[in-house]
Amino acid sequence: MLDKTSATIAALAEPQEISTEVLIEKYAKGDETTTEQVIARVARALAEVEPVKSRKKHAEEFHWAMQHGFIPAGRVSSAAGTGLETTLINCFVQPVGDSITNNAGGKPGIYTALAQAAETMRRGGGVGYNFSAIRPKGAKVKGTGSSASGPISYMKVFDRSCETVESAGARRGAQMAVLNISHPDILQFITVKQEKGQLNNFNVSVGITDEFMRAVEIDGDFELAHEAEPNDELKIGGAYRRNDGKWVYQKLRASEVWDLIMQCTYNAAEPGVLFMDRVNQENNLAYCELIESTNPCGEQPLPDYGCCCLGSLNLTAYVKAPFSAKPEFDFELMAKVTGVAVRMLDNVLTATKWPLEEQAKEAEAKRRVGLGFTALGDALIMLGVRYDSEAGRKLAADIARATRCVPAARGREISERRFCVAFAGSHQGRHSPARHTQFASDLNRANRHDFARVCRQCLERHRTGIFLVLQPHQADAGRQQEGLYG
């Protein structure tokens, strides 16, 4: 048994062909051919923003952290220290207003937003948007005496732009389109990707409200409304103005809309749903910002011009005596790595090239970073713990709690060091800044954690994430389109 265990551990440590290919294709630069060389470059680059006298020490710390399970996001590994004019940030959220070129409601016009998105994607970032401000199909356009074509027609313009603009390092662009459930064009949006070839460069999600879900529960009606005035034909059809000034285009049975979302998701895996009221209720910075969209993968809600400065902890690095009779999870080592990782991610915000000035200002004000973990399934296997067991659930909760507590404490230190003040008292005083302080000190309340979809599993030699191991051995059929494997 011990011989078999030793052989398994040795096999895990051996570089795999697919790992080397992914490394060379996506992350190695110049003459780099090994993970160690990439790690050294990234460590040096992120230490460059530290005071001169401590750069060597921090470079060594950063190097150590990456050797012990910390995985910076792909843009960091690919671009840090290369001298390229690309961003180290994976994803952003950008606003879109109800105008062709002029600002409207504090948001840039549609084609201004399109240009901003193109610049962001050109520099290597993905972009999420909420298109709900754009007036619905059939709304009046008073300046030209015409009727609007609706937000979906403009989504198609953004889709083609993304298809045309090659991201930094030949990385395919990625986008998220959100439309609020109350938008008059919501039915067209829900079904848009049922037709093959539509919005291929988008993930799409419906912004769900508590009001809508209450209507679903009681099988009641729900109003589709917008600030834009409908044309005469829609008025004849029953559109009317509410007391709050918005125009109701039609009423729908909420449960039928919900069923349509579920059916489309079953058929084509889209649209997703985003519970936007809950997102804003649980946002620690709700007193100074409103969140209306997420990054393209959907795991990170962000305000306008917010960014995903991401990294993950490879949990397999913290399993001691794996596959043995007495394996252990090393929480102490993970905590040490976590503290260094948070500093590294904060340094990314200083070291990166920003596609837009608005993104730089947003990041400087709030210093938002996201540290998650990956390879939970692999770690449980190495510990001999079943994923569906009470012990497995408890360990997952303990890990999530640990990866929340350390960054919260570390974040307070960084905010004091870099004088980060997130617009205290702004956004109409919706919440007191004390709410953020209370969260940071009350670290034992129920866990809440967003996790990124880590795409470097092959490089880091873990394959399952949280999923079951269906095939212990698998032969790759070879490279397919866009660098994927069969």
Q: Which residues are catalytic?
A: 295, 297, 299
- The string over 87-96, giving b where at least 16 C-beta atoms fall within 10 Å of a residue's C-beta and e elsewhere, is bbbbbbbbbb
Cβ neighbours, 10 Å, residue 204:
24
**CB–CB of 205/271 below 8 Å?**
yes
Retrieve residue 77's tokens.
């590994």
Residue matched to tokens 């004849």: 236
Q: How many CA atoms lie within 13 A of 103 on its CB side?
A: 3
Give the span between the Cα atoms of 243 and 126, in whole angstroms: 39
What size, in residues, is the chain? 486
Give the span between the Cα atoms of 310 and 326, in whole angstroms: 33
Retrieve residue 97's tokens.
């207003």
For residue 417, the cross-strand partners are: none
